[in-house]
A and B are shown apart, each in its own frame.
Chain A
Amino acid sequence: MAGPVSFFFEVLFSGLLAGVMYSLVALGFVLIYKASGVFNFAQGAMVFFAALTFVSLVERGVNFWLAMAITLAVMILLGILTERVVLRPLINQPPITLFMATIGLTFFLEGLSQGIWGAQPHGLDIGIRDEPMEWLADRTGMFLSQFDLFASGIAAVLVTVLALFFQRTRIGRALRAVADDHQAALAVGIPLKHIWAIVWAVAGFVALVAGLLWGARTGVQYALTFVALKALPVLILGGFESIAGAIVGGLIIGASEKLAEVYLGPYVGGGIESWFPYVLALAFLLFRPEGLFGEKHIDRV
């Protein structure tokens, strides 16, 4: 039943699945922005750092799961250190200062990871092939990558876990409280410093998951830091403060960029994929600057 319709759906679905990968990166930004109002420029570097650490450990013969645990521990430590060394001294400074600090952190992380593990690119095999699923192709005529489906499954699990953490736990509630009102959070005795360290650690964990999936797809190399740029239109679309926005934004960007490539590409020339998301995001910015899911500011006195 291969035809224009099933081809359309193939393009759409593969776009949606690719979009999940963007969502994963955007998620890390959202977490930190929500809790501390900092746009963490270093998120891409964190993804790279996590992936490189993991792959280097595996190449040195460390067991897959152990390497994962060690990398996770490193990312959590990194989160705590970032709070201590970078954020705490800058408390009460304007957001732009904190933003600059995360730029500094980016270069530090890039230097650190390459200093420790070397600059050569690595392949990363997590055991899932980036090949079309045969049974799906046989039944529907659509060629969808099983890797993409796997990545989406992982992302779904991750988002569910995060949502439960935020909604159901004492710390999760405190994180949302801090995101809402720093002053009031302090007044009820929530220690902002611990909360920020936790948020950075969670963002580190998300960076690790994103790093493994992106690393498995593109190889672990310096260019991985640029996946952060892919998250930017997602954030503009979805809003900087919304986890749901990061997911939906990623899906929209992923789908529209693939559809544009296939259906508009022939008319405007190649490479449309690389700029289309930004145009879409900018157009969107004109109509809904707070993003699709950006939190409405409740103004009521």
Chain B
Amino acid sequence: MARIIVVTSGKGGVGKTTTSAAIAMGLAKRGHKTAVIDFDVGLRNLDLIMGCERRVVYDFVNVINGEATLNQALIRDKNCNQLYILPASQTRDKDALSQEGVGRILDELKKDFKYIVCDSPAGIERGAFLAMYYADDAFIVTNPEVSSVRDSDRMLGILSSKSRRAEHNEEPIKEYLLLTRYSPERVKLGEMLSVDDVQEILSLHLLGVIPESKSVLNASNSGTPVILDEKSDAGQAYADVIARYLGEDRPHRFIDEKKGLFGKLFGSK
């Protein structure tokens, strides 16, 4: 059975697109045929992060409007042949997506793909609503700061009351927390919320903590999802996220401050 994953947050700029690209690649690398869809009509940038912006011919809106077939619009990833990208339109306005149209295309994708990752736009308006409406799983991307946590909480309320599963009284969307841009040093200084602070408010299944990392910027500049940078901390953190999502047990590696040599040898409090 195919699963639809929405990557959402409420707040903008927290790392949804970075995460969508990384997890879609991670799932595909594990051999699961995966499609990743950019729902951010008018502000597309998933194609940039995936490094396929120069191969875009048709987009999501074209397919909904019947101006192109799904096969014409899907772009096969250059690094992994199990991964396909459905880009957003840069030129249409955000009302170009219809609920019925989105449902139709997701149904079609479900026949062929194991995972369908929906990169949600920011906010709680129409675009974000459509990205989450048909979801089976939700990755809630949150930064360790109060406003981001509050917006995530708001989005969780929308998932549990406005989604298709909620409307049809089906089993609710499975919700997972992804804490991104986490900096243990700044948590220690009291400048950022800790994992526990965030969990006290959201109490969700923690899928992973992605550290604040220069490798993310490098990855997006080179158009390769950061998960392919296996030496980087963010890349490893995303690989752990995929492992946990697929049911493997992995300890959380990036929550604590990097300990000095003495700390490692003697254990520090």
Do these two chains really belong together in a complex? no
- Which residues of chain B have a CB within 8 Å of any CB of chain A? none
Using a CB–CB distance below 8 Å, which chain A residues touch chain B? Answer: none
